[in-house]
Homo-oligomer: A and B are copies of this chain.
């Protein structure tokens, strides 16, 4: 794959661009301090995220109608609160916690890398998060997207092929002109099946330092440790 053929970079967001786990833990801790409530916030973040794929799978498989990720997040949160001794949390607190997904902090290299990559390439999110979530994450972190693509624009969730195809189509490009950037091999595999180029970004801290793993062997077009390294590799 030659960088000269690529016109757009499309990014997974949760885990690839932003540190969802650290951000959710910090939001939970801040709420806990205010309300005088203690719980295992890292455990809550992990339990919340564990319901993410199963909830999307039901929509993808059409066993439930289209539902925005924001609403799936809220349902999943309510489902796990009893396990963390928080079943009496009021509506406002639930809404505030759910909104933590709108204000996730970027990984330290993200803004610098994207700023360099934007000089040469169209930059788009290609996320299972809704457009409204992407727009707010970008404003929170200063992410310079050209387009905030959310899976709702394809009315399905990754890795459904039509999500990738819809993103390329809206950008006015063939899949071969797009490079999918993600920290998750399954996402890259699905994008590759649709013709996208692939760039694996290693995010060892996504699930916390205790679960950090070294860079794996992959067969993707690029494999890098940061967005700034990706900018180096793509000559930006």
Q: Which chain A residues have a beta carbon within 8 Å of chain B's beta carbons?
A: 70, 122, 124, 130-133, 135-136, 138-139, 146-148, 150, 152-153, 170-173
Contact = CB atoms under 8 A, between A and B. Distances in A.
Contact of A131 (B130, B136, B147): B147
A122 B146 contact: no
6 contacts: A130-B170, A132-B173, A133-B172, A135-B146, A146-B148, A153-B153
A117 to B, nearest CB: 13
Nearest to A121: B139
Contacts of A171: 131-132, 135
A215 B147 CA distance: 34
How many monomers of this chain does the complex have? Answer: 2
A132 B70 contact: no
Contact of A146 (B70, B124, B138, B150): B138
Given A135-B172, A139-B146, 18 more contacts: A70-B172, A122-B139, A124-B135, A130-B172, A131-B147, A131-B171, A131-B172, A132-B171, A133-B172, A135-B146, A135-B147, A136-B172, A138-B146, A146-B148, A147-B147, A147-B148, A152-B170, A153-B153
A27 B146 CA distance: 24
A122 B134 CA distance: 12
A136 to B, nearest CB: 8
A139 B122 CA distance: 8
A54 B132 CA distance: 33
A132 B170 CA distance: 6
B170 A131 contact: yes
A91 B148 CA distance: 32
A130 B173 CA distance: 13
